[in-house]
Amino acid sequence: MKTLKERILADGVCIGTEIVKVDSFLNHQIDVALLDEIGKEFARRFSGQQVSKILTVEASGIAIACMAARHFGNIPVVFAKKASPNTMTEDLYGAEVKSFTKGTVSVVRVSKRFLNPEDRVLILDDFLAHGEAAIGMAELVRQAGAELIGVGAVIEKQFQGGGKRLREKGCRIESLAIIESIKDGKINFLK
């Protein structure tokens, strides 16, 4: 997605070889017009798939999921909540998610009322890095007996392997900007 890549190059800030900060337009301050374009593009890529629900995880995924849902005919958005591992109850689906940057393990949870076997679920998130969050959400979909249509990421950091892991599991991934590497403060997109 050209506009997005241009924006990442213009306003993204590289930290070392692993991190690109996009907090001026994606996950702290939000450019709503850009998000609208992003949502439209996800709807184009997953058109004809009869997606019935968008699943994301708090916090930054929520904006992306809601702006996208409009372009899928206002289907419901469900956002998984992050909690400490010891607070699971029977009314919730839950999956562990490891954070490589923070070195912690949390649990993402969704109420059983909001994911059903009839659902055709699209997972959306801001980043696809090591893939832990997406794999956790896919596990929630599996627990619900729902169908996983695919995973859409605004930015995939290919060098962290999450996309590869998910594709090897047979999951369809659509990433709007794929970063191959970050070197000497320069972002290299996959051609």
Is residue 9 within 8 Å of residue 187, measured between CB atoms? yes
- For residues 146-170, one letter each, b for 16 or more C-beta atoms within 10 angstroms of the residue's C-beta and e for the rest, the string is bbbbbbbbbbbbbbbebbebbeeee
Interaction between residue 15 and its own copies (CB under 8 A): no
Number of residues binding to its own copies, judged by CB under 8 A: 31
What gap in Å lies between CA 78 and CA 97, rounded to an integer?
17
Our CB check for its own copies shows the closer of 2 and 113 to be 113
129 touches its own copies by CB under 8 A: no
Q: 54 to 73, contacts with its own copies by CB under 8 A?
A: 58-60, 62-63, 65-67, 69-70
| Whole-angstrom distance, CA of residue 34 vs CA of residue 67 | 10
Nearest CB to its own copies, comparing residues 58 and 96: 58
Terminal CA-to-CA distance of the chain, rounded, Å? Answer: 12
- The whole-angstrom separation of Cα 84 and Cα 96 is 9
Among 1, 20, 38, 78, binds its own copies (CB under 8 A): 78
Q: Which of 40, 49, 114, 159 binds its own copies (CB under 8 A)?
A: 114
Residue 159 within binding range of its own copies, rule CB under 8 A: no
Nearer to its own copies, 74 or 89 (CB): 74
